[in-house]
Structure 1
Amino acid sequence: MRRHLPTRHLASITVITCLLAATACGSSEEAALTVAEARALAEGSTATVEGFVTVAPGTFNSATEDQGFALQDATSGIYVSLPDAPDLELDVRVRVTGKLGQVAQQTVLQADADSVTVLGGVGPIEPTDVTTADVGEQVEGLLVRVSGSVTRAVEDDQPYGFKVYIDDGSGETQVFVHIVDGQPVIDTASLAVDQAISVTGLAAQYEATYEVAPRRAGDLVLQ
């Protein structure tokens, strides 16, 4: 049974840096890191990142119990955990400041809605095609696409969601289907063992399990 783990209390690490030719010392606006740089920081570090929204706020709250979203830049992606949902749509470019942490062993940026700023530009992020065996730490936080055959009957894990397992021959992976407005985000009722499907979603982690979490109905394609 999937169980929500409460967000850990994280120690704050304050970093004061003078960035020559970039940000003047004493400026209230922190210089943005790439997402890959932010993910490499120690737990509790404060970071500012910029990227395009790949998961809308609140999509995964049936299991996460927060109103977070995901963003991605050219280097990596990350889930942003928020107590309240900002007004954001997919593909908009945003800037957010928060603290690096771990929730159920997934790297997240813990922030508040008022720390999120919408920037100019809209740039749809195309999913990265990966094998089912490659859904792991190296792609966590990225928007990915996996294709394969359903290997088991759909597993009901409500109220958190549903589990679908697929394999392209390289190794089985889990697709975790969250519930939005009382319904799974993709049509799990139509799935049968041995059916070939393609799923787009966030490469995520829950404890020791890596998974792909679709965001909307169109993320499932029957083949």
Structure 2
Amino acid sequence: MHRCSPTHKLASIAVTTWILATVGCGSSEDPASPDQEAVVTVAEARGLAEGSVATVEGVVTVAPGTFNSATGDQGFALQDTTGGIYVSLPDTVDLDLDRRVRVTGTLGQTAEQTVLNTEAASVEALDGTAPVEPRDVTTGEVGESIEGLLVRVSGSVTRAPVDEQPYGFEVYIDDGSGEVQVYVHIVDGQPVIDMESLTVDQVIQVTGLAAQYEETYEVAPRQAGDLVVQ
């Protein structure tokens, strides 16, 4: 499967606008503000209708801009105890992996993947860090039910890697439960994991975001350490 250009693939970023309600004459109550937006779990946010506004808190599992080569945005992923989601935004923000963060945005779909569309001003870094342990899943389990989570899969390489630069590389692995695509993005001109050493029948372990591009579910590694040859 070939990626389309970022301008075609990336859905328009929805910018949330809060309209202050007019307060009745003589009332001392202040109108609602974005800071008062109730925080919901990631699972609750993912269940909302497209176009709904939600505020979530979680831990950064994919650093901002890591997937830019294919998405064309500066987004990142976050996760709480109920689920994970990709946060799409046009401008980069300074967030490290494992940083706690609060985000308000609009639920949408990008290439059939559920995303939270936002802007930098609606992303707030919180105190503290909380490393996320990837969920071990079979290659056949990668699908809608775990989309947005940090996962770990192992399997044999079933096809030679396909070069889709400038978007990335794709390779498929299978542990016997079903093939899954591993999509390797380009960062600073290089794939985030070493593609030259991969050969058919080689057994590898990959950690990455359980993601979706159109009808294909995939695991997207974030950095060199996300690939382990077994």
Per-residue deviation, 1:185: 0.2
1:171 maps to 2:178: yes
In structure 1, the gaps of 5 or more residues are: 17-23
The reply on whether 1:2 has 2:7 as its aligned counterpart is no
Work out whether 1:139 is the aligned partner of 2:183.
Answer: no
| CA offset digits 1:162-208 (Å, max 9, x no partner) | 00100000000000000000000000110000000000000000000
Distance 2:179 2:190 in 1: 25
CA distance in 2, matches of 1:96, 1:9: 15
Deviation digits for residues 9-36 of structure 1, max 9, x if unmatched?
769798x9xxxxxxx9844220110000
Which of 168, 177, 180 does residue 187 from structure 2 map onto?
A: 180
Distance in 2 of aligned mates of 1:185 and 1:115: 28
Alignment TM-score, normalising by the size of structure 1 = 0.92
| 1:94-135 superposed Cα distances (whole Å, 9 cap, x missing partner) | 000000000000000000011111111210000000000000
Structure 1 partner of 2:94: 87
Match of 1:116 in 2: 123
Matched, 1:209 2:216: yes
For the residues of structure 2 that align with 1:82 and 1:11, how far apart are their CA atoms? 9
Provide the identity percentage: 71
| SS state at 2:140 partner | helix
The structure number with the bigger radius of gyration is: 2
Residue identity matched to 2:48? L
Whole-angstrom distance in 2 between the partners of 1:151 and 1:11: 41
The 8 Å contact of residues 94 and 117 in structure 1, kept in 2 or not, is answered as yes
Question: For the structure 1 residues 13 and 43, does the alpha-carbon distance in structure 2 shift closer, same or farther, using more than 3 Å as the test?
Answer: farther
In the superposition, the TM-score normalised over structure 2's length comes to: 0.90
Paired residues for 1:1-223 under 5 Å: 1-3=2-4, 4=6, 5-8=9-12, 26-28=31-33, 29=35, 30-223=37-230
CA contact under 8 A between 1:186 and 1:217: conserved in structure 2? yes
The structural deviation recorded for 1:6 is 3.2
Question: How far does the alpha carbon of each residue in 1:131-165 deviate from its partner, in whole angstroms, 9 at most, with x for none?
Answer: 00000000000000000000010111111000010
Paired letter, 1:163: E
Q: Counterpart of 2:60 in 1: which secondary structure?
A: strand
* Residues matched between the structures, number: 216
SS class of match (2:225): helix
CA contact (8 A) 1:12 1:44 kept: no
Distance 1:45 1:13, change over 3 A: farther
